[in-house]
Amino acid sequence: MTMVPTPPGREFFTRGAETMSRVLGQAQALADVANRQAGALLPRLRPAAPPPPLPRDPMTLLSDAAAYAVDATQRGLLFWDTMRQAGNAFAEHEAAGCPPVLVFDWQMELDGRTLPRPCNYALVRITPPADMPPTDPALRPFVIIDPRAGHGAGIGGFKSDSQVGVALRRGHPVYFVIFFRDPEPGQTVLDITTAETAFLRRVHELHPRAPKPVVIGNCQGGWAVMMLAASHPDLCGALVLNGAPLSYWAGERGRNPMRYLGGLAGGSWPAALLADLGNGKFDGANLVLNFEALSPANTWFKKYYNLYRHADAEAERFLEFERWWGGYFLMNRDEIRWIVENLFIGDRFARGEISAGGGATFNMRAVRCPVIVFASAGDNITPPGQALRWIADVYRDEQEIKALGQTIVYLMHDEIGHLGIFVSGAVALKEHTEIAETLALIDSVAPGLYEMLITREPGANSWSVELKERSMADIRVRSGEAKNEAFPAVAKISALNQSIYDLAVAPAVRQFATEEGAELRRQLHPMRLRRSLVSDRNPLMTAVAPLAELARRHRKPAARTNPFLAWEAMWAGAVEQGIDAWRDWRDAWTEVAFHGAYGFLAALGVAGGETPEEAPSAAALADAPEVRQALARIEAGGYPEAVVRMMILLAQARGGVRRSRLARSNALLRNEEPFADLTDSARQALIREQTVIASMAPAEALATLPKLLPNPADRRRAMAAVEGVAGPEEELGEAALAMLTQLRTTLGQAPQEVVPFHATAIPHGL
């Protein structure tokens, strides 16, 4: 066979055409970004509301003005006194070494500073207050890991209505992973993962009769939780990820500007420079400053005006939050570089490219415990895409999730902000409470991808929860852009800039850096300075406290109908709107500049990313060992396999499961024979195997049921058990009712009167 050589010019023109196609595609993407930003900015141009009318009577106007002047002056004094108290609290907190802001008492269980690979983390056990029940050591423990993103530990339990409070009220032992202000010399992120592994082993030792612990990761703590579960899947019982940015590149065009900042700064080298200026330590106040820049109207004006406007009632809440928000922690140079390069810039976690040491990598596909993801559409720090996109990056589709025996549940809030996920009392009483209730039954949930829907029935005082099956298409819709060629270009440029900095700049900076100079820079940081300047350390604040006390004794609030209060509110709204408009223009410029620079670099081939590894095909999935092993046993087993398979087929037909049905299923699988004799691991293995069979071969799964139940008495018993779990037929829906009919027909069973379960066997807790 004669090979025809390719003409020399054809390859050149082919590559040129491909480049031109990428450039045109990038131009279209840039135009799309500009259109979206313009659409978001136009509403800011709407006219302001008309001012309130003034009283026609001059004496009334003068009286209102005098009353407002007294009220405004008194509120001003109360405002500055609250700011003074916040400044004093900040100074005291810093002097004490920034201890955890937990409102609960705690005792040290394991100090990471004493481990063979020391780090500044520690495991503490929460002591229940007097108004809560004592903990039951046989119940599943809760382990909470807070973010180390500039602040200190304790946000998951800095008030009674919190993640800690929710678990304590149910009698669960609660452990908290805290960290200290200063890192240990030379500690790395992998040292922290090793310490957290030791923490979980200690929890297992303390509760040998309890199920595996629930591990909760807040924000960046979610990385730690997933790394822990990927490297040691045997230690975790279930994971809860609250606002955790596992896919940092993900997001929606026209929104989520924070993901572009690293690219516009040139990559990871600014973080390295700040760490070098800090004598090898990175100041977490820089991260907090970035967070505040996302919402400048709130940072610079709204939260302070709200304190001034409601000076009589807002002080306690303001001081409570400032105690956590005003504590800044340090990281080693290697720690911040690892975080920026692997997560912020490289987005390597979801792709399984983060080194775990010894040639291994952290692979989220290795996680086998159930995962609950809590995200919010109102979160501008960890938007839904960053919290959810990893699911679509790690798994080909929802069938692969089932085939691997994994259970993933996500919960979406419509509007709460990032911090509200952790600190809102309303969220604790609703979402975190319902998550805790669902965790009590999570081991009985068939593998798959679900959305947790929380609704309140008309006239009911409690919430109704349903786990609704979802597809990978739903995740992609939630997470925004499926592909963005600009981000791989950022990773390449960042690596180049970092190499230049390491070779040409870092040696000189480190040569002149001293601990005294680093500490002086920290104290002069605007995040610290704006608090210390209003504390009692400033002589100008000396008169504030007595004047504020005088204002409290003679307090005369203006009437709500006072027109000057309305004028004040209108002025405040205009200021906030103006700052928000500036922020939107800034964000628009940021996104356009990012895509204009890195998008065209990638399109021209100057700095592009590697072609990602393709997900396994459907044929490869069917040939996976887990699937082949399960399908080989499609006719094996008896009554337990048949009942579980029937319940899974029914749930798949319905497209989800209500928690009330899940509770009945859990009662059956834990308390009725022959299930009661199964261990937790055997019960979970049974559910996983039958889920694979019902998902990959549903027709055969249905047809082979008679072989599992050759005895007519067992068929009647199995059908009665499934009908009892299903509940009233009128609540099933057409698809589930049709499947129930098929099950009866296959087993030759006529419809029977459903005898529902009566909560007699439903265990309390986990």
At residue 248, does pLDDT exceed 60? yes
At residue 758, does pLDDT exceed 50? no
Q: What is the chain's length?
A: 766
Alpha carbon 384 to its chain's center:
9
What value does the mean pLDDT of the chain take?
A: 84
| pLDDT recorded at residue 683 | 87
Query: What mean pLDDT comes out for the span 419-441?
Result: 83
Q: What are the two backbone dihedrals, phi and then psi, of residue 652, each rounded to the nearest 5 degrees?
A: -65, -40
At residue 230, does pLDDT exceed 70? yes
Contact 176, 144 (CB under 8 A): yes
* CA dist 732 → 310, 460, 463, 597, 735 (Å): 51, 21, 19, 54, 8
Kindly list the domain boundaries of the chain, sorted by start residue: 105-249+347-484, 624-747
pLDDT digits (tens, 9 = 90+) for 582-638: 888 888 888 888 888 887 777 676 655 444 445 555 555 666 777 888 888 898 889
At residue 763, does pLDDT exceed 50? no
At residue 129, does pLDDT exceed 80? yes
Backbone CA torsion sign across 659, 661, 662, 664: positive
| pLDDT recorded at residue 322 | 87
When mean pLDDT is compared across 20-24, 228-232, 483-487, 714-718, the lowest value belongs to: 20-24
**Cα separation, 403 vs 689, whole angstroms:** 9
Residue 182: name the closest of 324, 46, 328, 43 by CA.
Answer: 328
Residue with more model confidence, 440 or 88: 88
| pLDDT recorded at residue 38 | 60
| pLDDT recorded at residue 723 | 87
| pLDDT recorded at residue 616 | 54
pTM metric for this prediction: 0.86
Mapping DSSP to helix (H, G, I), strand (E, B) and coil, where does residue 154 land? coil
At residue 310, does pLDDT exceed 50? yes
| pLDDT recorded at residue 136 | 92
| pLDDT recorded at residue 87 | 95
Residue 463 DSSP symbol: E
pLDDT digits (tens, 9 = 90+) for 342-376: 888 888 887 778 887 777 788 888 888 999 999 99
At residue 755, does pLDDT exceed 70? no
The DSSP secondary structure of 496-547, one letter per residue, reads HHHHHIIIIIHHHHHHH--HHHHHHHHHTSHHHHHHHTTSTTSGGGTTHHHH
**Cα separation, 752 vs 259, whole angstroms:** 58
CA 523, 528, 531: angle at the middle one, nearest 5? Answer: 130
Q: What are the two backbone dihedrals, phi and then psi, of residue 109, each rounded to the nearest 5 degrees?
A: -110, -40
pLDDT band at 84, cuts 50/70/90? very high
pLDDT digits (tens, 9 = 90+) for 10-28: 554 555 555 556 555 656 6
Residue with more model confidence, 174 or 291: 174
Four-way CATH pick for 105-249+347-484: 1.20.1530.20, 3.40.50.1820, 3.40.50.10860, 3.20.20.70: 3.40.50.1820
**Cα separation, 272 vs 282, whole angstroms:** 8
Percent of the chain exceeding pLDDT 90 equals 37
| pLDDT recorded at residue 1 | 45
Query: What mean pLDDT comes out for the span 504-517?
Result: 94
At residue 274, does pLDDT exceed 80? yes
Rounded to a whole number of angstroms, the distance between the first and last alpha carbons of the chain is 70
Query: What mean pLDDT comes out for the span 652-675?
Result: 86
Residue with more model confidence, 163 or 618: 163
Highest-pLDDT range among 170-174, 416-420, 451-455, 594-598: 170-174
Q: Provide the β-strand partners of residue 242.
A: 218, 374
| pLDDT recorded at residue 761 | 39
At residue 8, does pLDDT exceed 80? no
Backbone CA torsion sign across 455, 458, 461, 464: negative
| pLDDT recorded at residue 381 | 84
**Cα separation, 265 vs 344, whole angstroms:** 12
* CA dist 76 → 202, 304, 308, 454, 507 (Å): 52, 11, 7, 43, 50
At residue 146, does pLDDT exceed 60? yes
| pLDDT recorded at residue 269 | 93
pLDDT digits (tens, 9 = 90+) for 19-68: 556 555 656 666 666 666 566 555 555 555 666 676 667 888 888 899 99
**Cα separation, 199 vs 338, whole angstroms:** 22
pLDDT band at 766, cuts 50/70/90? very low
| pLDDT recorded at residue 203 | 96
Q: How many other CB atoms sit within 10 Å of the CB of residue 368?
A: 18
